[in-house]
Amino acid sequence: MEVLFALFQLSTMNPTQQEMHLRSSNVWHLQGIMGCITARPEVYNVLQPFHCQLVPYPLVVDVVANHGATWVKVIARKAQALHLIWAGKYISPKMNTIEW
């Protein structure tokens, strides 16, 4: 039901608003998950929560493959942002990916 409501809202927006809404949504993340699923052999689970004593909330692994031997976390970011993160030069108000 929520999906239908979201699609209805999207249909009432002008093209610029639609583009802005889609860019800020999780569509790119879900697209990355689908790409990972099609590229990995023997996908075991998708969006699987794991509980760990070190953190008070479950950690969600996007794709679990190879009978649990491969865990994949999809990060939907622009290539430039990923390069800056890798180089240690990216300052983000969100959680630092290096700390994980």
Q: Which residue has the higher pLDDT, 76 or 45?
A: 45
Instruction: Using only the alpha carbons of the chain, give its radius of gyration.
Output: 17
Domains of the chain by residue range: 2-99
C-alpha triplet 12, 14, 19: angle, nearest 5°: 105
What's the pTM?
0.57
DSSP 14-79: -HHHHHHHHHTSSHHHHHHHHHHHHHSSSEEEEEEEE--TTSSSPEEEEEEEGGGTEEE------H
Binned at pLDDT 50, 70 and 90, residue 11 comes out as confident
The number of angstroms, rounded, from the C-alpha of 24 to the middle of its chain's C-alpha atoms is 12
Per-residue pLDDT reduced to its tens digit, 36-57: 889 887 899 999 998 988 888 8
